[in-house]
Amino acid sequence: MDTLVDIVADCYFLEGEIYVKQWQYDVKDFASAKYDSLFKKRCISKETFVENIKYYLANEKYATQFMEKLDTLVEQRLSALRNSLDSEP
């Protein structure tokens, strides 16, 4: 579950990049290339990713744990980003 949570957190931030870059690139091609790169880096296929998401979200107990872990991880990453921005001159 932790690995999948980490990948979904990456997707969260990747969506921000896609949103920002959509004005410069064909958003469909850009998003596809970025997700292909992410899944390749994480050594997971799109199909396996989807299967795992469905598995964890189909069970209420797992879904709750998954979303809590995801919320915690995203908040940690956002906090680190905020802190790095606050420390810049």
Provide the H-helix boundaries in 22-86: 27-41, 46-58, 60-86
Q: Rounded CA gap, 14 and 19, in Å?
A: 9
Please tell me the predicted confidence (pLDDT) of residue 82: 86
Structure tokens at 54: 């469905």
Whether the per-residue pLDDT at 89 is higher than 80: the answer is no
pLDDT tens digit string along 21-54?
887 878 889 899 999 999 999 999 999 999 999 9
Domain ranges of the chain: 2-86
> What is the pTM for the complete model shown?
0.82
